[in-house]
Amino acid sequence: MLERETLELPDGDFLHLDWLKQDQKNPEQPLLLCLHGLEGSSRSNYAGDLIAEAEKAGWNAVVMHFRGCSGEPNRLPRSYHAGDTADLASVLKHLRKTGVGENKIFATGYSLGGNLLLKYLGEQGSSSAIDAAAAISVPFDLYGAALTVEQGFSQRYQAYLMRKMLGRVRSKSHQVEGLIDLEKALNSRNFIEFDEYVTAPLHGFEGHRDYYNRCSSIGFLKDIGVPTLVLHSRDDPFLHPRYLPTEEQISASTRVEFSDHGGHVGFIAQKKPWQPMMWLPRRILQHFGEQL
């Protein structure tokens, strides 16, 4: 059972941290920070798998919920987005002030959370409060990802997430009315329209292209200065391979492992149909173990 903490943010809003606390007094033990994906939470399967692996290793771990994703609506007439590194910085500042002391902080981000993590790392360079990182199934080019999910089977993923995102807008309609065009927002058919009518106006962007241009992690990869593992599959339904970063766009401290198969946050090694091996969390902790 994870222990929940409410973190008050500088702007008067809040977010929730879900903790796995084991031996906090051991300064040699790292803290594993997990950033979930779009409309995810600590209840997402990939987060649960990572926490379980951290528990087996004897590490402390914490899931950072983005605003409004923990099951409780946030206070302000805004939400979260793929480039909101200010909230991540607030969490890291808080973690450094709490029981982790001088412990290393290892961060893992999935999908949208991975994009946010890589953007933060690029912004901070070698001054990052994170000692090592792993980013999984990242939509490096947000506009490219929005175009990808408009094609073929990927549209099903988009439709599922759109229902959840529009439900969030409806629940906050009394707060955001007058700040966005509610009619256009609630009639959004895809990510591009949602980001044009909701994400951009609520978070200070001039439109969806401005948001995508300023927040896509692909423009920050070359400035990452801490050991970072990036895992991505070429059959990821959220990003066509044409939008993947090139070697010239990646820093020397970043290791990118592309696979032909793995889908989106998948990467399951299967011995038998009824005995899947969860390869992904083991690979992540292996990477972090190399940094100890």
Active centre residues (catalytic): 111, 236, 264
Residue 110 CA to residue 53 CA, distance in Å, equals 16
Q: How far lies 31's CA from each of 6, 19, 105, 107, in Å? A: 18, 10, 5, 8
Residue 259 CA to residue 233 CA, distance in Å, equals 5
Residue 127 CA to residue 150 CA, distance in Å, equals 38
Residue 41 CA to residue 39 CA, distance in Å, equals 7
Q: How far lies 159's CA from each of 137, 166, 200, in Å? A: 19, 10, 20
Residue 29 CA to residue 23 CA, distance in Å, equals 8
